């Protein structure tokens, strides 16, 4: 019985090493840092081991190897011999009993080592890696100090082989946006967060990666006040304006001098005063169309008026952006805007998609499962189709790109209004444009 207890203890010790290895490796460093700041016992030791994986893995490997060798030798010499003698006592020839007893014991110990010494501990480690890492880190640190010479030799040998193979040091642990999106989707699937919360978080991530030109109100949709329109024109604009702020231009929208509040114009009309847009005008910040949307949010926060004018590299007005444009990416439209807006993406029965030309391309990429080229100068479905075709298309024009076929369904003047998207049919002959997609002729 003592021999069996020793063998089982060795198997359990092997399981402790296996559990420690997977718990430390699987533990997320940000969680360990947070636990260390909260004073969790063992968290700092676990973090130190996780940040030096070479020495830690060498320590674990030494322990597992030694335990395996001792368990195999001890079980074979004691239990194997005892089982062989027992079989010989039953009348089995000694030449057969000894190897059968030895082999049976080795098979049993191997089975226990795999199940009890590897699989079960590792399953436990995967369930609660940070908590178990904090538990096992202090004793593993002691083991690493005791076996420091052997650990140093193994770690140095491993690093030498890595350098001979041209490998650099261990890369720093990074969390990408794809990792965050995957984690959010998993949390929503398990009910940890609501679907509306998931959409808002994804909207924040999209906003952080978009340039301001992807969220601005384009030039063609901007209502503006012309200083040369006179009292009648100013009055009509004040009474019919759809927005609370109006850019003020001197004869042209490219000659914007500032921004006027519509309520100031209406207040002057209510007092029966002569309208004076120049006197009511306020300066508005100007941002380049390549600026990041989040950076523009900071500009708007410091501005005297909640509007920024977006200019291109030639100094021409491309559009304007307000806080509503930015927050709309996160929480969507409100009230009348939501009622007027059409569903940007509708899936049909045959698996194809009907997409709005103004739909942001990153949102469409999530739906279609495509990887967008970087860098790119277009931000919408319409911009992608223009890039693929290299011209202003007509209705029914088609282009192939990114593994899909893009068909223009409807045009609103020169603007692409609706696009039908379906997987590219195999065997379709297409003319490929340099630097672009394939244009069907």
The secondary structure of 214-253 as a DSSP string is: GTSEEGGG---EETTSHHHHHHHHHHH-SSSEEEEESSST
3-class state of residue 71 by DSSP: helix
Fold of 212-334: CBS-domain (3.10.580)
> What's the pLDDT at 285?
92
> What's the pLDDT at 338?
46
What are the residues facing 438 on neighbouring strands?
400, 432
CA distance 417 to 411: 5
> What's the pLDDT at 84?
67
> What's the pLDDT at 163?
80
CA distance 62 to 67: 9
What are the residues facing 354 on neighbouring strands?
346, 420
Q: Exposure string (b/e) for 170-195, b if CB count within 10 Å is 16 or more?
A: eeeeeeeeeeebeebeeebeeeebee
- pLDDT averages per 10-residue partition of the chain, 441 residues: 75 86 84 85 86 79 81 68 70 71 75 84 86 88 82 80 72 65 77 79 80 86 89 90 89 89 91 89 91 88 90 88 84 54 75 86 84 82 88 88 88 87 58 38 33
CB atoms within 10 A of CB 222: 20
| Nearest to 125, CA basis, from 22, 268, 36, 43 | 22
CATH architecture of the domain 342-439 equals 2-Layer Sandwich (3.30)
Q: What does pTM read for this prediction?
A: 0.57
* Domain boundaries defined on the chain: 2-164, 177-209, 212-334, 342-439
Q: Exposure string (b/e) for 358-396, b if CB count within 10 Å is 16 or more?
A: bbbbbbbeeebebeeeeeeebbbbbbbbbbbbeeebeee
Can you say whether residue 4 is alpha, beta or left, with left for phi > 0 and alpha for psi between -120 and 50 degrees?
A: alpha
> What's the pLDDT at 157?
84
Structure tokens at 103: 């082999």
> What's the pLDDT at 426?
46
Contact indicator for 406, 419 with CB cutoff of 8 Å: yes
> What's the pLDDT at 39?
83
286-288, strands of its sheet edge to edge: 217-218, 317-321, 308-311, 286-288
> What's the pLDDT at 309?
93
């Amino acid at each position: 019985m003592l021999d069996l207890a020793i063998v089982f203890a060795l198997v359990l010790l092997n399981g402790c090493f296996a559990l420690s290895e997977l718990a430390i490796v699987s533990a997320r460093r940000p969680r360990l840092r947070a636990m260390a700041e909260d004073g969790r016992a063992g968290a700092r030791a676990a973090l130190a081991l996780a940040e030096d994986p070479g020495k830690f893995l060498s320590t674990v490997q030494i322990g597992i190897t030694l335990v395996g060798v001792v368990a195999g030798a001890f079980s074979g010499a004691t239990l194997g011999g005892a089982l062989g003698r027992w079989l010989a006592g039953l009348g089995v020839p000694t030449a057969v009993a000894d190897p059968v007893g030895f082999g049976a014991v080795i098979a049993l110990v191997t089975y226990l080592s795999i199940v009890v010494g590897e699989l079960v501990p590792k399953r436990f480690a995967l369930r609660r890696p940070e908590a178990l890492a904090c538990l096992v880190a202090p004793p593993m640190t002691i083991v690493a100090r005791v076996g420091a010479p052997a650990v140093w030799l193994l770690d140095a040998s491993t690093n030498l082989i890595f350098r001979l193979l041209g490998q650099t040091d261990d890369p720093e642990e990074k969390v990408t946006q794809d990792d965050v999106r995957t984690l959010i989707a998993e949390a929503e699937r398990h009910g940890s967060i609501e679907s509306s919360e998931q959409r808002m978080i994804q909207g924040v991530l999209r906003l952080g990666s978009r340039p301001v030109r992807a969220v601005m109100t384009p030039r063609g949709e901007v209502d503006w006040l012309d200083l040369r329109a006179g009292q009648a024109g100013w009055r009509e604009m004040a009474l019919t304006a759809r927005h609370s702020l109006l850019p003020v231009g001197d004869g042209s929208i490219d000659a914007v001098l500032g921004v006027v509040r519509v309520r100031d114009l209406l207040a002057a009309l209510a007092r029966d005063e002569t309208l004076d847009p120049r006197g009511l005008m306020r300066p508005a910040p100007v941002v380049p169309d390549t600026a990041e949307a989040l950076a523009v949010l900071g500009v708007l926060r410091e501005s005297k008026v909640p509007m920024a004018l977006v200019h291109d590299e030639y100094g021409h007005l491309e559009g304007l952006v307000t806080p509503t444009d930015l927050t709309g990416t996160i929480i969507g439209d409100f009230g009348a805007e939501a009622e007027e807006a059409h569903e940007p993406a509708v899936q049909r029965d045959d698996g194809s998609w009907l997409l709005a030309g103004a739909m942001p391309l990153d949102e469409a990429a999530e739906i279609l499962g495509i990887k967008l080229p970087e860098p790119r100068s277009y931000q919408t479905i319409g911009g992608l189709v223009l890039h693929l075709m290299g011209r202003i298309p007509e209705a029914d024009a088609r282009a192939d790109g990114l593994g899909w076929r893009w068909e223009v369904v409807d045009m609103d003047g020169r603007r692409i209004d609706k696009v039908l998207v379906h997987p590219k049919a195999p065997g379709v002959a297409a003319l490929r444009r340099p630097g672009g997609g394939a244009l069907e002729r």
